[in-house]
Structure 1
Amino acid sequence: MTRPLSVGIAGLGTVGTGVLTMLRENADVIAARAGRSIAVTAVSARDRTRDRGISLSGLRWYDDPVELAADPAVDVVVEVIGGSDGPARALVEAALAAKKPVVTANKALLAVHGAELAAMAEQTGVPLAFEAAVAGGIPVIKALREGLAGNRLSRVTGILNGTCNYILTVMRERGREFTEVLHEAQKLGYAEADPSFDVDGIDAAHKLAILAALAFGRPVAFDAVYVEGIRQVSAVDIAFAGELGYRIKLLGIARRTDAGIEARVHPCMVPLSAPIARVDGVFNAVVAEGDFVGRVMLEGRGAGAGPTASAVVADLVDLARGRFTPVWGAGSGALSDAPSVPMAAHVGAYYLRLMVVDRPGVIADVTAVLRDAGVSLESMLQHGRSPGEAVPVVLVTHETGEAAMRSALARIAALDAVLEEPALIRIETA
């Protein structure tokens, strides 16, 4: 009889206990698909006394996760501690050095240190698996690295943060402002007490850096990702977006261009006709475009104990079967050295909302600035008149360069009739 695969789990929070629960409750299904049973035999966490709602009796306990990696009876180390450094990084490095396969759900660790960790895994000849690091239960890593392996991918676009998607959905459905909806999301457990990583786009940027590395076969480059969050999106912008035929989503976009790889996270206006525009609430979605397959979209729950545990266990099943591929889909010698394209080189259409004093000549002044910057207008929207009072004016541009748009924006903001910082949102047509 084949020996069970012995697993050590470091981190017994929501995800860690979810993995332990799934391996126990679905043991028969998992064993059939893995070709042998998969059993957790050792764990590591900070607090031994905490009630996690699941029995830990019979499991070896390590206060120091690095000691877990040294346990000779552990075949595979599962890291669900989190964080780009500290115990999580030390554990993964120790496990790889000990030639033990690692399964991690840690997007921050991979985004920041993925290049070095991939080199360690390649040098020691052991797998580093991370299906759970991006989009929870959606099998996007396997899709990009294996299912679409025969394609040259041109673009990957995703709703990669459920907290932001939930906030933007509720703002649209109820006409409420960002701060109010954020507080509600925190009460419901959809947002952390400190929501910065989510609402400022950092979490999505970590995930996009990983997807871009996989899609374009190059080392992960988190520092090259342009990041902008959703704090400045207002209810009035969401209402105008609907009137113009768009929805506002925080998207991560990685695109191959003639100049190199473009990677950016920011709020976007997407047409109502685009499938990704209809992905609401806490759901995530990823769209990949390949030369032979065309466009593929995957959608599902991007976080939570169940979905993330599902992805971790999928990696464990692969390891039990002896299946694994290089971290970024190819060996280091075959990876691309395509440069990163700066955000200033981006070309696209823009939505611009101004709060201006309603008086003759204001729009002429604004359009003159745009004309001088080489920015062409597609349409303008203004409702009613309020002479001498503040009114919103919306301008939609044709495709133009980011650098030109930013230059024009600075000049427009300096006009005395413009009463607050202009709102700028990029338009994505697909």
Structure 2
Amino acid sequence: MTQPLRIGIAGLGTVGVGVVNLLTENRDLVAARAGRPIDIVAVNAKSRSKDRGADLSAYRWQDDAGEMAAANDIDVVVELIGGADGPAVSLARKTLAGGKGLVTANKAMVAHHGAELAELAEAHGLPLKYEAAVAGGIPVIKALGGGAAANEISSLFGILNGTSNYILSAMESNGAPFAHVLKAAQDLGYAETDPSFDIDGIDAAHKLAILASLAFGTQIAFDQVETRGIREIEAVDIERAAALGYRVRLVGEARLQDSRLLQRVHPVLVPLSHPLAKVTGSLNAVVADGNFVGRLTFEGAGAGAGPTASAVVADIIDIARGEQQPVFGVPAASLRAVSAGDHDAGTGRSYLRAAVADEPGVMADLTAILRDCGVSIESLIQHGQAADGGVFIAMITHETQHRCTAEAARKMTELKAVLSPPMRMDLLD
């Protein structure tokens, strides 16, 4: 009988327990597809006595996760602790240095330390897998690193954070303010008590930096991702976008600009006819353009115990089969260093929304600013009352340089009649 692949699982949160349950329930199926049994040998978590809804009695309990890296009866360590630094990265280093394969769902760790860990894995001839770190159960890492490997990718973009997408979708459905929908999402467990990583775009930025490295063969550059979340989105923006034929989505996008890499996470207006406009709730989607394969679109559950555990176990199966490839598509030493791209150097259409005092001459002042900045208006809506007593003005511009629209928005804030900083969002055309 073929020797089983023996694994240790560090971290028994939602995903860790999901992996245990999946490997238990689908044991025979997984073994058949892996070509050998996959046995859980040891587990680790902060609390041993916590009821996790799964029977863990058959597995050795390791009080110190680092001991898994040195255990003779473990072949692969599955890191599900989370966090960019601390115990997670310490365990990852010990695992690879100790001659064991590593599977992780930790997007923050990969975004911050991926290059170092890739070099360590490749130096020891070991697998490092991280499918579950990006877009949950969607096999986008395998697709970009394997199925589309023969293509030059010109751009990629997508909805990479389910919590933000759930909030925006709920605001569309019921017209409630952002704060109310966020509170409801927290009550339902869709958003953390501290939702900053999700609603400020940091989680999506981690995932985008990983995808960009894989797609473009560049060094991970999380610190170069321009990041803006959805805190500033108001119900009026959702309403105006719908009236103009759009939906608001938090989108991550990456593309090469000559020798520079543009990476952005920001709220955008998506046409109702665009595939991303149809991605609702907590779903994720990734779109990549290849020079031979054309446009590839991936959509599915981006989080949750089942989808994420499915991606983790898929990586374990790959290791059991002996499948191994460079961590980021090319050897880590070959990843190119690139400078950050400049979004404002590009062109496109934009959405501008401002709350202004309801008095004569305001529109003339606004249009004078737009004229002086070289921005023309394609469509405009003036309707509804702001909380501070003003009125909302929302407009779509014709295509122009982004820096011109940014300058116009900045100058608008200098007008006494403008009651709050204008909201500016790009249109995804």
- Please indicate, yes or no, whether the TM-score normalized by the shorter chain is above 0.5: yes
Aligned to 1:34: 34
Q: Which amino acid aligns with 1:214?
A: L
Equivalent residues of 2:129, 2:327 under 8 A apart: yes
Query: Contact 2:201/2:266 (CA < 8 Å) preserved in 1?
Result: yes
Aligned residues: 427
Do residues 205 (structure 1) and 198 (structure 2) align? no
Unaligned ranges ≥5, structure 2: none
Paired residue for 1:166?
A: 166
Provide, for residues 17-72 of structure 1, a one-character-per-residue CA deviation record: whole Å limited to 9, x for no partner. Answer: 11011011101110110000001001111111111111112322211111111111
Instruction: Single out whichever of 353-362 and 261-270 deviates more from structure 2.
Output: 353-362
Q: Partners in 1 of 2:62 and 2:399 — Cα distance?
A: 57
- How much has 1:136 moved relative to structure 2? 0.6
Q: Is the 8 Å Cα contact of residues 153 and 289 (structure 1) preserved in structure 2? A: yes
Mean alpha-carbon deviation: is it higher for 415-424 or for 71-80? Answer: 415-424
Are the aligned partners of 1:131 and 1:311 in contact in 2 as well (CA < 8 Å)?
Answer: yes
Moved more, 329-338 or 180-189: 329-338
Residues 1:23 and 1:354: Cα distance change in structure 2 (over 3 Å)? same
Q: Supply the AA of the counterpart residue of 1:157.
A: F
Equivalent residue for 2:121?
121
- Paired AA for residue 128 in structure 1: L
SS of the equivalent of 2:41 reads: strand
1:284 aligned partner: 284
Q: Say whether the 8 Å CA contact 1:247–1:272 is kept in structure 2.
A: yes
In the alignment, the residues of structure 2 paired with residue 399 and residue 77 of structure 1 have an alpha-carbon distance, to the nearest angstrom, of: 51
Q: Deviations over 1:51-100 (max 9, x none)?
A: 11111123222111111111111000000000000100000000011121
In 2, the alpha carbon distance for the partners of 1:235 and 1:77 equals: 45
Q: Which structure 2 residues correspond to residues 195-274 of structure 1 after superposition, within 5 A? A: 195-274=195-274
| Structure 1 unaligned blocks of 5 or more | none
- Rounded to whole Å, the distance in 2 between the matches of 1:63 and 1:8 is 12
331-340 vs 55-64, greater mean Cα deviation: 331-340
Q: Distance in 2 between matches of 1:298 and 1:286?
A: 5
How far apart, CA to CA, are the structure 1 residues paired with 2:384 and 2:29?
A: 63
Q: Relative to 1, partners in 2 of residues 1:66 and 1:342: Cα closer, same or farther, differing over 3 Å? A: farther
Distance in 1 separating the partners of 2:411 and 2:7? 59
Q: Counterpart of 2:398?
A: 398
Aligned position for 2:189: 189
Cα separation, 2, equivalents of 1:377 and 1:336 = 41
- Whichever residue aligns with residue 4 of structure 1, its letter is P
Q: Which runs of 4+ in 1 moved over 4 A?
A: none
Give the AA of the match of 1:268: V
Q: Percent identity?
A: 56
**2:14 counterpart of 1:8:** no
| Pairing 1:330-341 to 2, within 5 Å after superposition | 330-341=330-341
Determine helix, strand or coil for the equivalent of 1:12.
coil
TM-score, normalised relative to structure 1: 0.96
- In structure 2, the partner of 1:43 is 43
- Quick check: 1:238–1:247 contact (8 Å CA) kept in 2? yes
Contact 2:385 2:392 in 1 (8 A): no
Query: 2:98: which partner in 1?
Result: 98
Contact 1:224/1:342 (<8 A) preserved: no
* Partners of 1:315 and 1:69 in 2: CA distance: 18
1:396–1:69 Cα change, 3 Å:
same
Distance (whole Å) between structure 2 residues aligned to residue 109 and residue 385 of structure 1: 45
Equivalent runs, 1:303-318 vs 2, <5 Å: 303-318=303-318
State TM-score, norm by structure 2.
0.96
SS in 2 for 1:382: strand
Is 1:77 aligned to residue 77 of structure 2? yes
Distance 1:364 1:284 in 2: 42
CA distance in 2, matches of 1:401, 1:117: 40
Moved more, 394-403 or 6-15: 394-403
Cα deviation, residue 396, structure 1: 1.4
Residues 137 and 308 in structure 1, CA contact (< 8 A), matched pair in contact too: yes
Q: Which residue of 2 aligns with 1:411?
A: 411
Offset at 1:259? 4.5
Q: Give the counterpart letter for 2:281 in structure 1.
A: G
Taking the aligned partners of 1:349 and 1:212, their CA distance within structure 2 comes to 24
Q: Check if 1:156 corresponds to 2:156.
A: yes
Question: Does 2:88 align with 1:88?
Answer: yes
